[in-house]
Amino acid sequence: MKRRYKKHSSPHFRNHTETEKSYIFFYKKFIRVCELATAISLQQGGIETDGRGRRAADIFTRQVLTAHSLEKLLPVLRNGSDPEIVVWDLPTISLVSRSVMENFQALYFYGTEAISEAEADFRFQIFQKDRNAKWRDIRKKAGQSDNDLSEFISGVPEQQARILNHNFFKQLTKEQQVSIKKGKEFYYSKAEFEEFCPRLFNIGFHYKLMSNLAHPLPLAIERIDEICGHGSPSDADIRLVIVTLNVATDCLIASIEEMADKFADHIGARFRSRIQELAEYPTCE
């Protein structure tokens, strides 16, 4: 007589909530966008382009890296696994999602927006001055002497003077000129970015929200209670993760679209159908 063995029964976990199901939908969309961004990044080599094109490629590489870092932070919910053991790190997810948004702003401003040669040169001057000013300040705080930094100390004001005397500076609005005089790296306001880049819709609201969630500010601290703010699944935290994830997804799609337009004969032609699929992807379940 054969011995009978009791069949192994897998543990039973609770069903996903409706909020978790919504998150799964948007998570899958983000993963698809990441896969396409990676494929495009691997095809950037060997493209002949100008200085703005090279900066666009560098910023896009950074964008893909940031997106993959975000992917590692996002909880993975699967049928048959325990949804209670994942960690919802809302502050860090918000911080990295904001970085994806900022990367897209830099990509558009310094790399892909169609502008005149005069404006391109003007932005390059801003780019170079901002880099040198930041290095000067960092090295000074690190303890380097003024003598060691003499090239930066004399060079940065000279670069700022060239910017203010540049022919294109006169074409800026008064508000934009004030931004340049204050040393801002962009002379577009958030409203202007939103106007020129539809996927940055409501950038002011999203930037403020993600900044307050990411940093240990009163808004973020006071929302911590027995349910929210300590990593366990709660509808409030998951809804906010969905908001920040959608911002990151839109900005990553926008980055892909900009690269396809900038390098139409190479990236645009090769990935047109996959980019179109993203544009047609449903916005909700």
How many CA atoms within 13 Å lie on the side-chain side of 246? 20
Instruction: Give me the residue spans of the domains in the chain.
Output: 31-41+50-115+190-280
Using CA atoms, how far residue 145 sits from 106, 135, 136, 209, in Å, is: 32, 13, 11, 40
Q: Is the pLDDT of residue 66 over 60?
A: yes
What is the per-residue pLDDT across 173-203, written as a single tens digit (0 to 9) for each? 999 999 999 999 999 999 999 999 988 999 9
Q: What is the mean pLDDT of residues 213-229?
A: 92
Q: Is the pLDDT of residue 2 over 80?
A: no
- How high is the pLDDT of residue 124? 97
**Confidence label for 13 from pLDDT (cuts 50, 70 and 90):** confident
Q: Is the dihedral of CA 196, 197, 198, 202 positive or negative?
A: negative
For the chain, percent of residues with pLDDT exceeding 90: 82
Q: Is the dihedral of CA 13, 19, 24, 27 positive or negative?
A: negative
Q: Are 200 and 194 in contact (CB under 8 A)?
A: yes
Inter-axis angle of helices 235-262 and 90-107, nearest 10: 20
Verdict on whether the full-model pTM lies above 0.95: no
What is the per-residue pLDDT across 252-284, written as a single tens digit (0 to 9) for each? 999 999 999 999 999 999 999 999 988 777 666
Nearest to 119 by CA among 181, 175, 163, 183: 163
Q: Is the pLDDT of residue 46 over 70?
A: yes
- How high is the pLDDT of residue 9? 57
Q: Are 254 and 105 in contact (CB under 8 A)?
A: no
The Cα–Cα gap between 179 and 78 comes to 48
